[in-house]
């Protein structure tokens, strides 16, 4: 970061060096990019493609797309205007999204976040986007406060569709607002917008198997539509080239072996067109990277299906500056009343409904399950220990992401079979603990797999929670990563990992192994206790599925779930009152997104002729 700041100080005009931490007072982000020597079309494309978050985000986009064959293509982006709910109603809709996905699997509604569509997708050139946001600002200013609150919604179900429809008279008012925006868009930006003419609604589920209807309908009826809600008029855009492509999320890194292959970085997205797959080999697909714009072949099992809206870009209103946006354009679901430009708020919130009566709500018993942090052998390879040993076999770290010292854990074979976490893994774990502390989440008991990486992760979570001197970590051998154990071979050297502990936890059905115990022995039974389990990727599924009364998955489906769980993946399972029924719920902390940082050798990079 220091090097990057030095670079900026050399190339930025002196009058623009003031207030580097925020937006430039003397000029817009576009002017800053132009002063750095970027051509205007490229600068505009970078700002629009990143939602105008910052100069640095735009620069990073430009540098990562330097080999993009479409970098100088003047093709416009596609835009859409939505009403997005926030507040208590949004929380209920998110809960419905989560529970319907768990209960019945993904349906077409899950491709996009909850919303009311106000117009059809339309195209806008990059140099007109600022004027387009000004058009939205002008429309919102005129219409703010003219809508009833709460917005009247009515549940409708059919054999393959479930939605909340806006009452007709209010829907007509919303359509007038959309028409005014369309008129402003033509006047200010010369952009044609077609207002949505069909019935306005929030789609809850559609295109699902008919036998899922009873479960989905039951969940939909649990949504309290009269809860407080801020409705936000928001603009999103997408790359028009990939409108009809499948969106895939990269799960594992891949280094190309041939010229026609695509490099994969976890966290990136890949667009795949079914048309381009005709000539690919089995197990390989052809796609284009969101992060780089490059295309090529990639192994199919290194990616998973993502939601369409995961790659959409959020665009703010002019009052916060089109090119001074604050939101993460890659995460449209991160929008909140505090983050979204205030001018987009068109329906004032009503008072949040409160539970009446003199009895306080009984605390729920909650089980939190967390995967361990980044591990040494994954980052540095299975022979990592040889990279940081001197001539006498003593440990000497050779990379800043290696811990300064290793804990006493037996001989070298023990480390080979049971690697510790990296420095970044420790940081990840402390971040989770700090987030739990900030959310006022109490942890009463901590259970942990005997794997060294899990013990270290649990310790660092407790450090972040400021509970490392008060709470004890209870090592439970039954939580070890049983999916990696093969009878008669390669047993971990740790004395904790005894076959006797595995036998009651695993049952065999047609040679398929399932976890039959969902929580470790000694799980506290008193109401209100919160228990944290720190274990492996498989634990998030195995420790919660049977607890919810759900039958085990097939080995194939189970593996697909496990592969999607990142380091410090975190889930929450709550007991519903005194009914004995448990359900997955939104965790009290935000997710932790992270990606690889390849080893940098300045000799190989900077001394190249």
Write down the CATH superfamily of domain 246-308: SH3 Domains (2.30.30.40)
| CATH for the 366-484+506-585 domain, from 2.60.40.10, 3.30.420.10, 3.40.225.10, 3.40.50.1240 | 3.40.50.1240
Q: What is the mean pLDDT of the chain?
A: 77
Which pLDDT belongs to residue 62?
94
Residue 581 pLDDT > 90, yes or no? no
Which pLDDT belongs to residue 185?
95
In the block, residue with structure tokens 């770290």: 397
pLDDT in tens, 520-544: 444 554 445 789 999 998 888 888 8
State the pTM of this model: 0.55
Which pLDDT belongs to residue 411?
59
Determine the Cα–Cα distance for residues 259 and 254; give it in Å rounded to an integer: 13
pLDDT band at 48 (very low <50, low <70, confident <90, very high): very high
Residue 163 β-bridge partners? 156, 203
- DSSP calls for 414-430: HHHHS--B-HHHHHHHH
Chain center to CA of 84: 18
Residue extents of the structural domains in the chain: 30-65, 77-240, 246-308, 366-484+506-585
- Select the more confidently predicted residue: 18 or 296: 296
pLDDT in tens, 63-90: 999 999 999 999 999 999 999 887 788 8
pLDDT in tens, 351-396: 332 223 333 334 568 899 999 999 988 888 888 887 887 777 788 8
pLDDT band at 579 (very low <50, low <70, confident <90, very high): low
Determine contact, residues 374/569, Cβ cutoff 8 Å: no
* Residue 445 CB coordination number (10 Å): 18
Which pLDDT belongs to residue 500?
29
Q: Which of 130-139, 186-195, 431-440, 554-563 has the lowest mean pLDDT?
A: 554-563
Determine the Cα–Cα distance for residues 34 and 546; give it in Å rounded to an integer: 58
Which pLDDT belongs to residue 360?
35
Q: Which fold has domain 30-65?
A: Helicase, Ruva Protein; domain 3 (1.10.8)
Highest mean pLDDT range out of 310-314, 326-330, 485-489?
310-314
Which pLDDT belongs to residue 68?
94
Is 246-308 the same fold as 30-65?
no
Write down the CATH superfamily of domain 77-240: Cyclic phosphodiesterase (3.90.1140.10)
pLDDT in tens, 194-235: 999 899 999 999 999 999 999 999 999 999 888 767 788 889
* Residues with a known catalytic role: 371-372, 536
Residue 260 pLDDT > 70, yes or no? yes
Strand extents, DSSP E, 459-528: 473-475, 506-509, 512-515
């Amino acid at each position: 970061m220091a090097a990057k700041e030095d670079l900026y100080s050399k190339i930025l005009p002196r009058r623009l060096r003031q207030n580097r931490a925020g937006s430039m007072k003397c000029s817009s982000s576009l002017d800053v990019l132009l002063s750095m020597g970027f051509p205007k079309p490229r600068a505009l494309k970078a700002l629009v493609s990143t939602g105008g978050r910052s100069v640095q985000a735009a620069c990073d986009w430009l540098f990562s797309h330097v080999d993009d064959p479409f970098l100088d293509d003047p093709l416009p982006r596609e835009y859409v205007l939505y009403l997005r709910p926030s507040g208590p109603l949004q929380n209920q809709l998110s809960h419905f999204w989560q529970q319907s996905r768990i209960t019945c699997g993904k349906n077409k509604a899950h491709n996009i976040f909850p919303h009311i569509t106000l117009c059809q997708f339309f195209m806008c050139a990059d140099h007109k986007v600022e004027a387009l946001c000004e058009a939205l600002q002008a429309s919102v200013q005129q219409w703010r406060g003219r809508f009833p609150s709460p917005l009247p919604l009515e549940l409708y179900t059919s054999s393959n569709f479930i939605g909340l429809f806006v009452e007709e008279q209010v829907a007509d008012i919303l359509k007038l607002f959309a028409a005014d925006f369309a008129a402003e868009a033509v006047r200010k930006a010369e952009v044609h917008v077609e207002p949505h003419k069909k019935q306005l609604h929030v789609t809850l589920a559609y295109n699902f198997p008919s036998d899922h209807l009873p479960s989905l309908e039951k969940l939909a009826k649990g949504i309290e539509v009269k809860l407080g809600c801020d409705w936000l008029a928001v603009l999103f855009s997408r790359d028009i080239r990939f409108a009809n492509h499948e969106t895939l999320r990269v799960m594992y890194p891949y280094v190309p072996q041939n010229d026609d292959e695509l490099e994969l970085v976890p966290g990136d997205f890949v667009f795949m067109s079914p048309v381009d797959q005709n000539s690919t080999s089995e197990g390989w697909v052809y796609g284009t990277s969101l992060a780089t714009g490059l295309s090529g072949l990639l192994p199919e099992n290194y990616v998973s299906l993502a939601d369409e809206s995961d790659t959409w870009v959020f665009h703010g209103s002019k009052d916060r500056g089109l090119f001074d946006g604050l939101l993460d354009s890659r995460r449209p679901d991160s929008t909140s009343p505090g983050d979204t430009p205030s001018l987009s708020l068109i329906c004032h919130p009503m008072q949040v409904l409160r539970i009446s009566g003199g009895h306080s709500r009984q605390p729920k018993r909650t089980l939190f399950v967390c995967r361990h942090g980044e591990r040494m052998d994954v980052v540095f390879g299975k022979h990592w220990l040889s990279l940081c040993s001197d001539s006498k076999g003593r440990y000497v770290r050779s990379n800043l992401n290696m811990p300064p010292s290793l804990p006493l854990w037996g001989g070298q074979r023990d480390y080979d079979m049971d690697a510790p976490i990296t420095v970044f893994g420790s940081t990840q774990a402390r971040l989770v603990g700090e987030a739990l502390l900030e959310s006022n989440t109490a942890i009463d008991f901590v259970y942990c797999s005997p794997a060294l990486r899990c013990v270290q992760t649990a310790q660092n979570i407790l450090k972040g929670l400021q509970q490392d001197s008060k709470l004890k970590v209870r090592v439970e051998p039954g939580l070890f990563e049983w999916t990696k154990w093969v009878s008669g071979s390669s047993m971990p050297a740790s004395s904790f990992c005894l076959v006797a502990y595995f036998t009651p936890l695993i049952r065999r059905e047609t040679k398929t192994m399932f976890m039959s115990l969902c929580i470790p022995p000694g799980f506290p039974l008193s109401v209100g206790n919160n228990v944290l389990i720190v274990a492996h990727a498989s634990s998030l599924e195995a420790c919660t599925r049977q607890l919810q009364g759900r039958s085990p998955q097939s080995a194939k489906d189970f593996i697909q779930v496990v592969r999607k769980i990142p380091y410090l993946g975190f889930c929450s399972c709550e007991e519903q009152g005194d009914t004995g029924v448990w359900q997955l719920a939104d965790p009290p902390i935000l997710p932790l997104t992270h990606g690889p940082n390849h080893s940098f050798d300045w000799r190989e990079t900077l001394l190249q002729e």
